[in-house]
Structure 1
Amino acid sequence: MRSPHPIPTHPHPYDVPYDETPAPPTTHRRTGRRRRRGHFFSGLPFALKTVASLLVLAAFLTLADRWAVLYAEHRAADTLKDRLRLTAAPEVEIDGFPFLPQLVGKRLDSVKVTVPDVAADRVTLAAVSATAHNVRLDGDGPTSVRGARVPRLDGDVLLSFADMNRELGASQVTFTGAGRDRVAVRGTLPVAGHDLRLRADVRVARDGERGVDTRIGGMRLDIGELATYRPGTRASQGLHLTRASAAALARETRKARAVLAVPSVVRALGVPDATVREAQRSDTALSRLTGRPEFVRQAMRLNLLDLALAHPELLDRLGLDPALLDALSQLTRPVLADRLSLAFRLPEPPSGELRLRDVRVAKDGIRVRVEGSGLAVGP
Structure 2
Amino acid sequence: MRSPHHIPTHPHPYDVPYEEPPAPPTTHRRTGRRRRRGHFFSGLPFALKTVASLLVLAAFLTLADRWAVLYAEHRAADTLKDRLRLTAAPEVEIDGFPFLPQLVGKRLDSVKVTVPDVAADRVTLAAVSATAHDIRLDGDGPTSVRGARVPRLDGDVLLSFADMNRELGASQVTFTGAGRDRVAVRGTLPVAGHDLRLRADVRVARDGERGVDTRIGGMRLDIGELATYRPGTRASQGLHLTRASAAALARETRKARAVLAVPSVVRALGVPDATVREAQRSDTALSRLTGRPEFVRQAMRLNLLDLALAHPELLDRLGLDPALLDALSQLTRPVLADRLSLAFRLPEPPSGELRLRDVRVAKDGIRVRIEGSGLAVGP
Question: Structure 1-normalised TM-score?
Answer: 0.95
1:12 Cα deviation after fit: 4.3
SS across alignment from 2:221 = strand
1:74-99 deviations in Å (ceiling 9; x for gaps)? 00000000000000000000000000
1:186 Cα deviation after fit: 0.4
- The answer to whether the aligner puts 1:337 opposite 2:343 as a matched pair is no
1:201-245 deviations in Å (ceiling 9; x for gaps)? 000000000100000000000000000000000000000000000
CA distance in 2, matches of 1:136, 1:295: 76
CA contact (8 A) 1:201 1:219 kept: yes
Return closer, same or farther for 1:9/1:172 CA change in 2, 3 Å cut-off: closer
SS across alignment from 2:109 = strand
1:27 Cα deviation after fit: 3.3
- The answer to whether the aligner puts 1:127 opposite 2:127 as a matched pair is yes
1:267-316 deviations in Å (ceiling 9; x for gaps)? 00000111111101110000000000000000000000000001011111
CA contact (8 A) 1:171 1:190 kept: no
Number of matched pairs: 379
Return closer, same or farther for 1:14/1:287 CA change in 2, 3 Å cut-off: same
Within-5 A mapping of 1:99-114: 99-114=99-114
1:325-370 deviations in Å (ceiling 9; x for gaps)? 0000000000000000000000000000000011111111111000
1:9 Cα deviation after fit: 13
Instruction: Find the counterpart in structure 2 of residue 170 from structure 1.
Output: 170
Return closer, same or farther for 1:251/1:42 CA change in 2, 3 Å cut-off: same
1:19 Cα deviation after fit: 9.8
CA contact (8 A) 1:171 1:188 kept: no
Return closer, same or farther for 1:27/1:254 CA change in 2, 3 Å cut-off: same
Q: State, as a whole percentage, how many aligned pairs show the same letter.
A: 98
CA distance in 1, matches of 2:273, 2:6: 188
SS across alignment from 1:169 = coil
SS across alignment from 1:77 = helix
1:168 Cα deviation after fit: 2.2
CA distance in 2, matches of 1:5, 1:185: 145
Of 75-84 and 158-167, the range deviating more from structure 2: 158-167
CA distance in 1, matches of 2:291, 2:6: 175
Return closer, same or farther for 1:19/1:202 CA change in 2, 3 Å cut-off: same
CA contact (8 A) 1:188 1:195 kept: yes
Return closer, same or farther for 1:292/1:8 CA change in 2, 3 Å cut-off: closer
Stretches of structure 1 lacking an aligned partner (at least 5 in a row): none
Instruction: Find the counterpart in structure 2 of residue 228 from structure 1.
Output: 228
1:25 Cα deviation after fit: 8.4
Stretches of structure 2 lacking an aligned partner (at least 5 in a row): none
1:167 Cα deviation after fit: 1.7
CA distance in 2, matches of 1:177, 1:236: 27
SS across alignment from 1:205 = strand
CA distance in 1, matches of 2:194, 2:66: 60
Question: Structure 2-normalised TM-score?
Answer: 0.95
CA distance in 2, matches of 1:117, 1:303: 44
1:33-65 deviations in Å (ceiling 9; x for gaps)? 111111011001000000000000000000000
1:14 Cα deviation after fit: 1.2
SS across alignment from 2:312 = coil
1:89-124 deviations in Å (ceiling 9; x for gaps)? 000000000000000000000000000000011110
Instruction: Find the counterpart in structure 2 of residue 244 from structure 1.
Output: 244
CA distance in 2, matches of 1:6, 1:256: 172
SS across alignment from 2:146 = strand
Instruction: Find the counterpart in structure 2 of residue 259 from structure 1.
Output: 259
CA distance in 1, matches of 2:246, 2:79: 65
CA contact (8 A) 2:184 2:201 kept: yes
Return closer, same or farther for 1:171/1:254 CA change in 2, 3 Å cut-off: farther
